[in-house]
Amino acid sequence: MELALKRHSRFLGRRGPLLLIIMDGIGLGPQDERNAVFMANTPTLDKLFNSRLFCTLQAHGTAVGLPSDKDMGNSEVGHNALGAGRVFDQGARLVNKAIETGRIFETDLWHQIVERGEKGGTIHFIGLLSDGNVHSHIDHLYRLIEKCAELGIKRVRVHALLDGRDVGERSALNYVVPTEEMLARISREKGLDYRIASGGGRMRVTMDRYEADWNIVKRGWEAHVLGKGRPFRSAREAVETFYKEDPDITDQYMDAFVIVDEEGNPVGPIRDGDAVINFNFRGDRAIEISRAFTEKNFEEFDRGPLPDVIYAGMMEYDGDLHIPPNYLVAPPAIDRTISEYLCAQGITSFAISETQKYGHVTYFWNGNRSGYIDERLETYVEIPSDKVRFDQAPQMKAPEITEKTIELLRSGRYRFGRLNFANGDMVGHTGVMEAAITAVETVDSCVKRLVEEVMRLEGIVVVTADHGNADEMFTIDAQGKHRPKTAHTLNPVPFVIVDSGYGGEYEMAELPKRGLTNVAATLLNLLGYEKVEDYDPSLIRF
């Protein structure tokens, strides 16, 4: 299909560039003390949100391809939606369908995994043990385990990564205890050997992303594969001990642990002849551990002898680099992203963020595609993130991103640019209100500078977000106690246009439903082009 854009008959765009600012994790929540966005001093955002060219967007649930409107959005599906211009089934919905229809159990790969188990090997499951439905869902794990039991697979081991981020920050026992009880029941009733073997908090063990800290993956490898870690007789004992030793610790920051038998030997290290399934469906934090299991010439840390295993992802975590080579559920085929159309039209663009969200404004924006679409027309800039807890440095790299973006804008080379400020999301995940307020205020000041620069260049700025987070930092229980909320929210996100030459040529369109997928057509309009025929409607009308 030819990727051609048609010039708009009534609007040719502006003389200067179009800049899209994505304020990660900054939604529009309750206007009270729970909301760091509301509590922060944000003169710039306050003004923008009262603009004539302002509306709100749905950034969760069915609007971004998730199973139901009870499902929180996330940065991956959010950027997929922003770049694709229409809704594609995502993550959990794809896995749900594969399991419900039984297709996941009909593939050659599944049969190879089962064969390993039938020949005496252990089937291992590694992944995030929660129902957050962002990286994984515990129901998927349970269904896979139940299938193994149904088939009579003798040994199953679970390597449980603790969440505390997409769910309550100290909720690990809500998942660990039922899982250990289920595994014990299966073992008892069917004469099988099913156990949790190792684990740890997601921000300390296994689930690094964007190569920010390979030591995180190394800790996971040592626990899951080598059986090295702090020993406990059960995962429940591990969690309860960590809680007792540090009343302030949250699940995501727990150290690696290994379950041992009465003699102190690890009960489930990964060995030759085994099969390993990573049951996470989201890619960013599954890529590095997948590389460790599948790359022969791996140099990021000393793995020791690479075990002879079949390793499978729940999904393909990187479609261009084919990581991992084996996966159980095919990813959505996202084609004809807005960047493909812009490149086909010869429009120059840049994308910039710090490490934590760099993949979002590139890989996910481009429909799960690595690398450039057209390196002659595009520039991608990554500002390395600091390796500190984000509540300790809530400004993150927003000032550096702003400086570099201004440099790119002033070069005069680029017609379109997109950037992501990670602060609202990454600091919001810490649950620290004071830090989140600083994060939001930092973004506000950076947005101010960028808007002023683009106005000077006679261009247009679009400000939005991919999902909420900092807009709801804690909940209040029945006893009136504040409980930190580290997960994303279901709140709408802002969308506003700041147009240096606005003269009433267009207004916000009245649509039955507004979501992130409507942004792509809007950007095309503001660049002076008609929307692509099957893209969701533009948020403006002329």
Q: What is the DSSP string of 61-85?
A: GGGGT-SSTTSPP-HHHHHHHHHHS
Q: Please give the torsion angle defined by the CA atoms of residues 469, 470, 471 and 472, in that order, rounded to the nearest 10 degrees.
A: 80
On the CB side of 80, CA atoms within 13 Å amount to 25
Count how many residues are written for the chain: 542
CA distance linking residue 281 with residue 314, whole number of Å: 5
Tell whether the torsion through CA atoms of 232, 235, 238 and 241 is positive or negative.
negative
Q: Which of 9, 75, 445, 538 is catalytic?
A: 75
Task: Give 102-157 as a DSSP string.
Answer: TGGGSSHHHHHHHHHHHTTPPEEEEEE-SS-SSS--HHHHHHHHHHHHHTT-SEEE
- CA-to-CA distance for 359 and 319, rounded, in angstroms? 13
User: Distance (Å, rounded) from C-alpha 39 to C-alpha 35?
Assistant: 6
Farthest-apart Cα atoms in the chain, separation: 78
Tokens of 258: 């290994």
Residue 378 sits at the vertex; the CA angle it makes with 372 and 383, to the nearest 5 degrees, is: 85
Which runs of E-coded beta strand occur in 384-481? 416-421, 460-464, 474-476
CA 290 to chain centre: 17
Q: Which amino acid is at 420?
A: N
Catalytic site includes residue 75: yes
Quote the tokens at residue 176: 């660990």
Do 427 and 390 form a contact (C-beta atoms < 8 A)? yes
Distance in angstroms (rounded) separating the CA atoms of residues 194 and 125 = 11
With contact defined as beta carbons under 8 Å apart, do 399 and 340 qualify?
no
From the centroid of its chain, how far is CA 391? 19
Q: Note whether 124 and 359 are within 8 A (CB).
A: no
Q: Distance of CA 29 to CAs 17, 34, 424, 463, Å?
A: 31, 9, 13, 17
Taking the C-alpha atoms of residue 83 and residue 516, their distance in angstroms, rounded to an integer, is 9
- Catalytic residue numbers read 75
